[in-house]
Amino acid sequence: MEVNEQKQRTGLNRVWHAMGYSIQGLKAAWFEKAFRQEAVASVFLIPAAFGVGQNWVEVALLVGTVLLVMVVELLNTGIESAIDRIGPEWHALAKRAKDMGSAAVLLTLLLCIGVWSAAVWHNILS
């Protein structure tokens, strides 16, 4: 069995290669429709956070929830890819894993919508 080269790297060499793998992951995620939609929304929402938020804590919460949605979407896609790697046939545990990943995305989206709604209501509409 071949050992992963990354496991043998240390220091800045390991960090440099890990960054490359992360960029490859983001490039791969771009081909996922849900991630692409969230990334496009973030292009508008992150700058808007600086207008909606009244202090650095509010801006951080607004930006953080947008980024959290993208992080959870990446994790969900990773779960789905790993399940699909095992095999295409239907299995109750595979469905359960995929459903839980999807539920995590849903809860994160609801959190994001709630934080943004509260900030807009409090800082702009009232």
> Which of 5, 73, 80, 89 is the catalytic position?
73
23 close to 77: Cβ distance less than 8 angstroms = no
Q: Is 73 a catalytic residue?
A: yes
User: What gap in Å lies between CA 55 and CA 60, rounded to an integer?
Assistant: 9
Helical H segments across the chain, by residue range: 11-29, 33-52, 56-86, 92-120
Q: What is the DSSP track for 87-106? A: -SS--HHHHHHHHHHHHHHH
Q: What is the DSSP track for 103-123? A: HHHHHHHHHHHHHHHHHHIII
- Active-site positions? 73
